[in-house]
Amino acid sequence: MPYNHYIPITKERYDILMDRYKVFQDTIHMDDVEPIKVFEPMTPKIIEEILLIREVSMELQKKKEEDMKKTQGVENNQVPEGTNQAEETKESNLNGAAEIPAEA
């Protein structure tokens, strides 16, 4: 495969990767040869950033699931606890514990 100028790597880097890839293709069917690594291993900083991204993604997924549960509850006319202050005020008025607003 010839070098493409639209690829965001240099021609030298491309040549190195293609050489490794050709060796990889030649040895892929051999069981007794150690696998060829086409790319260099990731640096510890990159691995740390990937782990951080995974943690943040898990938290965002949990928040999304909670929001979906709340939305489904509202669609089913179920109000989650502590979300509707008007209902709480209405209930306290029925119990006689609420203050009567002063009219001006």
Annotate 10-48 with b (16+ C-beta within 10 A) or e (fewer): eeeeeeeeeeeeeeeeeeeeeeeeeeeeeeeeeeeeeee
If the chain, 104 residues long, is cut into consecutive pieces of 10 residues, what is the mean pLDDT of each piece? Answer: 76 90 87 80 92 96 93 72 54 50 49
- Give the pLDDT of residue 39: 80
- Give the pLDDT of residue 56: 96
Return d(Cα 28, Cα 7) in angstroms, integer.
Answer: 26
Which pTM does this prediction carry? 0.41
- Give the pLDDT of residue 61: 95
- Give the pLDDT of residue 72: 86
